[in-house]
Amino acid sequence: MARLRNPGPSWGYRFLLWADSTWPKGFFDFCLKAGNAVALLCMPSQRRASTEYLELALGRKVGFKENLQHFMELSQSLLFKLRIGRDGQLPDFQIDPKYDATAFMDLVLSTRAALFGTFHVGHSDLTGCMLGEFGRSVRMVRQRVENDYDLKMLDKVFGKSVEFVWINEGESMLFALKNAAEDGASLALQCDREMHASKHRNFDFMGAVRRFPVTIYHLSYLLRMPVAFSFGIPVDEQRTQVVCSQVFEPGEDERKDVLARGYVHFQEVLNMLEAVLRQHPYVWFNFLPMNTEVRSS
């Protein structure tokens, strides 16, 4: 089976980083925008997904200008990660004061292994890596792709505390995650793409009832680990604002009760995510059709 790959040539990320280091800023910025415009024209499915999402987030019709801004935001986020790997300088993480992060930070600063959920939003990879800076071992669950130079660059900086679990290679996902939990590691999972999970539930999101993966709450029950969500919103070239959820505790309840409470927690997380996306619409980086809309019969 052919391995998945990110868009663009295998050398694309290296070239981008080289150009960023050597070209005058104005010329580089112009070429980056021109390159994104070409990509936009050559990637019709991603352009359609961008349009579908942005029209929901912005509440109006969108065109090439908005799509280009969406693509540019993704490129800037990628550059942010590549520069961290090149320079070895950690970003400045700032907790968003609009959300109560007390329980989240208490969990992060503790020695408890936990399940940390996130989405393909802004600097999501960086928020997972950030957890390792608090002295805890973190396994980030990902699908391995061919041209993953951005993750290799992050591994250069965060590799002592953060490892990747490749769920599309070798071990089954559950077996791999169980092994990580038995090692006392925390797990970081992305919880928005429905095709990457076997457990789903319907939730309100972006004006409709949509299907989302809920594997993280099944793992919470099986492994008796707490769940917390976070994601990072770019502020500028050095800073990321971190939005944190409340902490879900599975306790000793039976499976159906843990899952029922977990689904309530996830709806609260999605409400928080939607509020953030209404304010920062261009940081949703799925570029896939929106989660399946479930219509009542």
pLDDT for residue 238: 81
Question: Encoding tokens for residue 92?
Answer: 């400045």
Phi, then psi, of 88 in degrees rounded to 5: 70, 15
Q: How far apart, in whole angstroms, are the C-alpha atoms of residue 145 and residue 125?
A: 15
The answer to the question of residue 182 being in a domain is: yes
Work out the percent of the chain whose per-residue pLDDT is above 90. Answer: 58
The answer to the question of residue 37 being in a domain is: no
Segment 181-235, tens digit of pLDDT: 777 888 888 899 887 777 899 999 999 999 999 999 999 999 999 999 999 999 8
The answer to the question of residue 53 being in a domain is: no
The answer to the question of residue 128 being in a domain is: yes
H-helix segments, 3-63: 12-22, 25-42, 44-58
Q: How far apart, in whole angstroms, are the C-alpha atoms of residue 113 and residue 117?
A: 13
The answer to the question of residue 99 being in a domain is: yes
The answer to the question of residue 12 being in a domain is: no
Say if residue 167's pLDDT is above 90: no
The model's pTM is: 0.90
Confidence of residue 124 (pLDDT cuts 50, 70, 90): confident
Residue 226, sorted as left (phi over 0), alpha (psi -120 to 50) or beta, turns out to be beta
Q: What's the rounded mean pLDDT across residues 2-31?
A: 82
Say if residue 101's pLDDT is above 60: yes
The answer to the question of residue 68 being in a domain is: no
Q: Tell me the range of 6-20, 77-91, 278-292 where mean pLDDT is highest.
A: 278-292
Say if residue 41's pLDDT is above 50: yes
Report the run of H or E that residue 277 belongs to, with start and end. Answer: helix 255-279
Long-range CB contacts (within 8 A, 24+) of 273-279: 273/119, 273/121, 273/205, 273/231, 274/205, 274/206, 276/121, 276/231, 276/233, 276/243, 277/57, 277/121, 277/206, 278/57
The answer to the question of residue 7 being in a domain is: no
Q: How far apart, in whole angstroms, are the C-alpha atoms of residue 155 and residue 200?
A: 31
State the CB neighbour count (10 A cutoff) for residue 22.
8
Split into its structural domains, the chain has a count of 1
pLDDT for residue 230: 94
> Is the pLDDT higher at 130 or at 268?
268
Residue 208 is part of which domain span?
A: 90-283
Q: What's the rounded mean pLDDT across residues 236-259?
A: 93
